[in-house]
Amino acid sequence: MEFRFILVEPSVPENVGSVARALKTFGFQSLAIVNSEVHKEEKAKWVAHGSREILEQAKVYSTLNEAVEGLDFIVATTARRRTLHHDYHSPRELYRLIGEKEGTIHRIGLLFGREESGLTNEELAVAHCVSTIPLVGTYPSLNLAQAVLVYAYELSPFQVTASKGREMGTEDGQSPGSFLTYHVLHKRVRRIFERIGLGGESLVGKRLLERLALLSSSDLRLVHSLCARIEKSLALEEEGKA
């Protein structure tokens, strides 16, 4: 599995430098930045210390949509619960959810919002699932770098597995084509919603799409089979009306 850590409009160079250190500490390399170049400032490089190459290799995108292009599974992180979503997963739960999708996802993106305001509702809507770090205290708060550190730590076992796979020449042990399964299913369900008049932006549509993120790889394949039957039935019905 490949992980891309995406920072949306970060404004504090030191935070981005600390993010680079956190990623390297736990074996991650891919850093993407949306609409910001603070990672090029000397303050960021100074804090990054032995992980400057992550800053130097970071990819900068003008928009979030460009940054998530090509990803199979997108996770948005948020510090607070909102009415837009019902399911919020801790970093540890996220590790389990991703692990259960082995063979159906390959390129995974984690979105982190602005230091002051986080991600907008529109940016959260880009994700397949939403995660938040459970905190205890009268004023629970983590800065951007601390949040990335927590996720990098919880997801680091995937890096160990990938490293062993590369040593054995097996990588994830799956064919490249199989990695599109979840991404394809998400689009497939949306298309079915449109054909039956249930918009993906409706309350029911959003809820059903949100629940797809909870399915294991075997469950995803079952839903694929169900979609195939529904599509066949819809095609026959449309032919009958023609």
Tens digits of residue pLDDT in 16-70: 999 999 999 999 999 999 999 999 999 999 999 899 999 999 999 999 999 999 9
- Sign of the alpha-carbon dihedral angle for 47, 34, 32, 214: positive
**Coil, strand or helix: which one is 129?**
strand
Distance CA 39, CA 33 (A): 9
Extended strands (E) in 78-167: 88-89, 107-112, 129-131
The full DSSP string for 41-72 is SHHHHHHHGGGHHHHHH-EEESSHHHHTTT-S
CA distances from 163 to 174, 201, 223 (A): 15, 40, 31
Q: Is the pLDDT of residue 167 over 50?
A: no
Q: Is the pLDDT of residue 151 over 80?
A: yes
5-19, 73-87, 131-145, 218-232, range with greatest mean pLDDT: 5-19
Q: Is the pLDDT of residue 71 over 90?
A: yes
Distance CA 58, CA 31 (A): 5
What average pLDDT does range 2-24 have in this prediction? 97
Q: Is the pLDDT of residue 201 over 60?
A: yes
What's the pLDDT score for residue 83? 55
What's the pLDDT score for residue 126? 92
